[in-house]
Amino acid sequence: MIERAQNEGNVMTELSRRTMLSGVAAAALAPAIMSGLADAATPRAGKQAPGFYRYKVGDIEVTVVTDGANTFKFNDDHVSNKNRGEINAPLITAYYQPDLLTTPYNPIVVNTGGKLIVFDTGTSETAYESTKGNTGQFQLNLKAAGIDRSAVDTVVISHFHGDHINGLLTPDNKRAFPNAEILVPATEWKYFMDDGEMSRAPKGRMETVFKNLRRVFDVLERKVTQYESGKEIAPGVTSVATPGHTPGHQSHIIASGNSKVFVQGDVTHVPWLFARNPDWHAFYDQDGKLAEETRRKVYDMLVAEKMPVQGFHYPFPALAYVERAGNGYREVPVPWNPVL
Amino acid sequence: MIERAQNEGNVMTELSRRTMLSGVAAAALAPAIMSGLADAATPRAGKQAPGFYRYKVGDIEVTVVTDGANTFKFNDDHVSNKNRGEINAPLITAYYQPDLLTTPYNPIVVNTGGKLIVFDTGTSETAYESTKGNTGQFQLNLKAAGIDRSAVDTVVISHFHGDHINGLLTPDNKRAFPNAEILVPATEWKYFMDDGEMSRAPKGRMETVFKNLRRVFDVLERKVTQYESGKEIAPGVTSVATPGHTPGHQSHIIASGNSKVFVQGDVTHVPWLFARNPDWHAFYDQDGKLAEETRRKVYDMLVAEKMPVQGFHYPFPALAYVERAGNGYREVPVPWNPVL
């Protein structure tokens, strides 16, 4: 039932809890309004808008191109130093369902004017099939953004986990970016291509990482260019060693004019868990302690510099400022700019 | 200069302030990487992605279609009970420039399966010219979303300010939605169409509002359907009186199955100022005290119900949860869903 009250001359519908719960069902139809429109109904569109978004860093044009998002039930050992209840608390705070982790994947494309550079490649078109379109959208959204995969000059890889490198290949095991030089972190290459390291790695998840990256890079005949930390690897793009998640994990600072953005890769996974709680050690952080150290160092710098972060596992368009909150950090999404 | 330190066996680029400020310019190019790619450069795209986004409320499909955003220098009387310095503080906190107000405009389109309904119409295609494309994008983005303006069955107006009604007309003074019934709040119509009220209104801003709405509705030959508060004005859509911003200002609850969203109109203007500070009285709140009362009532309900709000002046896609923060509220954007 909708209650009414006179309020300074206005008819006011009271926003009581009861009204909110019962109002819709109980409200009477207004017959004058509902009549006289017997046209055929327009079908629902039934699909999402293409997932790309542009912004400028000085003269450099960045296009965030989403690969989609997936939702998983998490295992009890997902975060080694936290139990299920402790993980569910911030999920619920962030308006997510408990026991479920939603993971977005957001590669970017950088046009420096001279070079067209892809940063990380997403889960692959093969994953598009296996996840029923939830992930593996990168090539579709690239196309929607008007970017020709064969025009890509360079692919920069942050680290060797599957959701960052699998998109280097097409479903028929060809190069997904036929004309691109593939840049990989030298430290990452040295560690993961060492068959001794592979033989000493724990079976299960870690063994899978070693085998998967060999699968991918063997198709590329291991023809990659290794890059060092702290170098300008492309005009305006500098690599920054951010180890812990993997031994050779790299982030990248894109800078032009007075503008900068920190492309973090996996310094944090989803921010509502791991920026908020930098001391949580998820299983995909190979060295949990070092990953935590790197996280705090990077995020303290982002706060001090007011530098925006481009987060691979942030929700699209995955660009945010960060500020201190509690024992960690809170992201403040950069508002969508409707013009470039 | 990039400083290096050994860190648990990894070469670590130190993220010192000095490094951040000087690192990019000083870093040496990696010659092996920069050579051998002499292809023609891909031109920058130079334009933003189309601004539309879809989500479901039960069986109902909502498409947020942005009209753009504009940035204004604000006057000293912008907020009657706050001075320039007090307004600038939360702007800076929210990573905006001081002295400048960025205002996004976000109409929505609702497909109930039976009806295609536009909620508020934006600043108009005429404004697209005068603002050089910053605003007035609604029809362009509608088209990008595959929505035919002539298929729109109903336009629901929340209140009579220009940025909500001007888009009812084309630049050549035709109906922008040729086949749509126009629904307007009965209280709003009664108040603003009263020539006595117009004659008593203060000159300047208020007089402009009265004159502008006559300009618009006279083209429509004043053929509108008035709707009451607390009624189901379309399947799943209930009007809620939220006065103060204007005397007849209406919000709308869209509900289907277990899902609800609160389409707030201008219960708050931009959230980083007026959700954060519900006691601020901006000049466009016709009755500042009542607007504040309505704001608190609505936002307390949104917090209690964990009901998302669709905010006309929130940044695109303008859908957020709200929580208490300080003396007011903070919005938590609903994460972009890459599938519908």
Q: How high is the pLDDT of residue B39?
A: 56
Q: Nearest CA to CA, how far is A132 from chain B (Å)?
A: 10
Whether B30 and A231 lie within 8 Å, measured CB to CB: yes
Q: How far is CA A148 from the centre of its chain?
A: 22
Q: How high is the pLDDT of residue B92?
A: 97
d(CA A318, CA A69): 12
Q: How high is the pLDDT of residue A31?
A: 38
Q: How high is the pLDDT of residue A40?
A: 74
The secondary element (H helix, E strand) that includes residue B101 is: strand B100-105
Whether A53 and B52 lie within 8 Å, measured CB to CB: no
The predicted-structure confidence for A49-80, as pLDDT tens digits, reads as follows 999 999 999 999 999 999 999 999 999 999 99
The predicted-structure confidence for A157-181, as pLDDT tens digits, reads as follows 999 999 999 999 999 999 999 999 9
Give the ipTM of the model, two decimals please. Answer: 0.89
Omega before residue A317 within 30° of 0, cis: yes
Whether pLDDT at A194 is above 50: yes
Structure tokens at B143: 């088209």
Whether pLDDT at A36 is above 50: no
User: SS3 helix, strand, coil % of chain A, rounded to 5?
Assistant: 30, 30, 45
The predicted-structure confidence for A224-259, as pLDDT tens digits, reads as follows 999 999 999 999 999 999 999 999 999 999 999 999
Whether pLDDT at A42 is above 50: yes
Nearest to B332 among A95, A232, A335 (CB): A95
Q: Which residues pair with A325 in a beta bridge?
A: A328
Helix/strand/coil for B195:
helix
Helix/strand/coil for A280:
coil
Q: What is the dihedral of CA A141, A146, A148, A149, to 10 degrees?
A: -20
Name, in order, each residue with C-beta under 8 angstroms of B263's C-beta and a sequence gap of 6 or more: B108, B119, B158, B251, B252, B253, B254, B309, B310
Whether A338 and B20 lie within 8 Å, measured CB to CB: no
Contact A226, A186 (CB under 8 A): yes
Whether A241 and B102 lie within 8 Å, measured CB to CB: no
Q: How high is the pLDDT of residue B6?
A: 31
Nearest to A15 among B42, B50, B298 (CB): B298
Give me Rg for the CA atoms of chain B: 23
Mutate to test the interface with B, among A10, A19, A103 (most CBs of B within 10 A): A10
A chain contacts of residue B134, beta-carbon cutoff 8 Å: 338-339
Q: What chain A residue is nearest to B40 in terms of C-alpha separation?
A: A114
Q: Nearest CA to CA, how far is A56 from chain B (Å)?
A: 9
- Work out how many CB contacts closer than 8 A connect A with B: 292
Name, in order, each residue with C-beta under 8 angstroms of A140's C-beta and a sequence gap of 6 or more: A50, A128
Q: How high is the pLDDT of residue B206?
A: 94
Beta strands in chain A (DSSP E): 4-7, 10-13, 52-57, 60-65, 68-73, 100-105, 108-111, 116-119, 154-156, 181-185, 225-227, 232-234, 237-241, 250-256, 259-265, 309-311, 319-325, 328-333
Whether pLDDT at A302 is above 70: yes
B chain contacts of residue A54, beta-carbon cutoff 8 Å: 45, 47-49
Q: Which of B208, B315, B205 is nearest to B269 (CA)?
A: B315
d(CA B121, CA B65): 10
Q: How high is the pLDDT of residue B20?
A: 40
Domains of chain A: 4-28 (no CATH), 58-333 (3.60.15.10)
Binned at pLDDT 50, 70 and 90, residue A39 comes out as low
Q: What chain B residue is nearest to A9 in terms of C-alpha separation?
A: B247
Model pTM score: 0.89
Burial (CB count <10 Å: 0-12, 13-18, 19+), residue A32: exposed
Q: What chain B residue is nearest to A16 in terms of C-alpha separation?
A: B301
Whether A13 and B241 lie within 8 Å, measured CB to CB: yes
Nearest to A340 among B11, B48, B137 (CB): B48
Q: Nearest CA to CA, how far is A276 from chain B (Å)?
A: 14
Q: How high is the pLDDT of residue B40?
A: 74
pLDDT by 10s per residue, chain B, length 340 = 222 233 323 323 334 433 343 334 334 333 344 444 445 799 999 999 999 999 999 999 999 999 999 999 999 999 999 999 999 999 999 999 999 999 999 999 999 999 999 999 999 999 999 999 999 999 999 999 999 999 999 999 999 999 999 999 999 999 999 999 999 999 999 999 999 999 999 999 999 999 999 999 999 999 999 999 999 999 999 999 999 999 999 999 999 999 999 999 999 999 999 999 999 999 999 999 999 999 999 999 999 999 999 999 999 999 999 999 999 999 999 999 999 9
Nearest to B44 among A34, A61, A183 (CB): A61
Q: What does the pLDDT average to over A274-303? A: 98
Nearest to B24 among A20, A51, A238 (CB): A238
Mutate to test the interface with A, among B4, B15, B97, B301 (most CBs of A within 10 A): B15
Mutate to test the interface with A, among B3, B6, B17, B24 (most CBs of A within 10 A): B24
A chain contacts of residue B61, beta-carbon cutoff 8 Å: 44-46
Per-residue CA distances from B273 to A230, B72, B85, B222 (Å)? 40, 15, 13, 35
- Length of chain A in terms of residues written: 340
The values of phi and psi at residue A16, to 5°, are: -80, 160
d(CA A170, CA A309): 29
Q: Nearest CA to CA, how far is B212 from chain A (Å)?
A: 23
Whether pLDDT at A27 is above 50: no
